[in-house]
Amino acid sequence: MARAEVLHDLVVNGRGHSHERLHELANSLGLLAADVFVIAGQPVPACLLPPARDPKVFSEFTYRVTFCNHAQLAALESFVLSLPQASAEPASAVPYDAIAAPPGTDRFPGIFDGLMRNRGLGVRNMPFTGLSQSTIRGMVSGRWYSVHQLRAMAGPLGWTFEDLIAVAAQPLGNWAVGGTLCRHVGKVYVAAIPLTSGQLFQAAVEADRLSGREDHGAWKPWNSDPDPCPDDGAPRHNR
């Protein structure tokens, strides 16, 4: 079975899978176990969720990551992974009702919301993606979403565009240009899932040290010098 078919089958039939089977699929697909639980429409175990942490610190961290180029992102990911995993209270679990929509209802908005929650991301602390907050809020609520919007959101989640549209049951089409942020930015956010507020602050300081970002005293959405993503050569505005 092709990868896209496995993901689609997980959306349709995942509620009947055992936890052991979901962990096996996560391992074979190279996805977070928490993400596989969300796709399957099952509650995410608390041990797989990020700890409760200061939203402002997390926002500062997500913002500063976007100023790193790809070599710096790799170094930052290694730094984040080197931090000890502290014992902390997990954040609120993904509501089951949000990911287990009634039969015949499009489950993707709830899945998308769950994928963001698995990383501690939300509309207010999402880094600049080229989409407005109202657009992202509309995607989460199920009012709308398009292939273009999925392209923009795949990177911050650390997902490939192909995997995300397979879960959304959307056609691949011909999309030669990537989103504002690539999956290497999202990989840093994935690595940071277990970090506490204090560790996020450390990681934000390290991101600034690596990127040499100058503080202009005002919010700036990204470093505007494009850096080609090694995945496909498309320019990204994370440097």
* pTM of the predicted model as reported, rounded to 2 decimal places: 0.87
Residue pointed to by tokens 């650390």: 158
Q: What is the pLDDT of residue 235?
A: 47
H/E element holding 228?
A: strand 227-228
Q: What is the DSSP letter of 129?
A: -
Can you spell out the DSSP letters for 39-100?
HHT-PPPGGGSPBP--HHHHHHHHHHHTT--HHHHHHHHHHHHHS------B-PPPPHHHHS
pLDDT at 129 over 60: yes
Contact in structure between 155 and 183 (CB atoms under 8 Å): yes
First to last CA, the chain: 38
CA 24 to chain CA mean position, Å: 21
Sequence-distant (6+) residues with CB within 8 A of 66 are 127, 128, 181, 185, 221, 222, 223, 237, 238
The domain ranges of the chain are 49-236
Q: Which region among 56-60, 81-85, 122-126 has the lowest average model confidence (pLDDT)?
A: 122-126
Q: Of all helices (H) and strands (E), which one includes residue 186? A: helix 183-191
Q: Residues 64-123: pLDDT tens digits?
A: 999 999 999 999 999 999 999 866 565 555 554 445 555 567 889 999 999 999 999 988
Q: What is the pLDDT of residue 93?
A: 52
Lowest mean pLDDT among 17-21, 126-130, 186-190, 222-226: 222-226
Mean pLDDT is lowest, of 44-53, 93-102, 227-236, for 93-102
Residue-level pLDDT at 123: 87
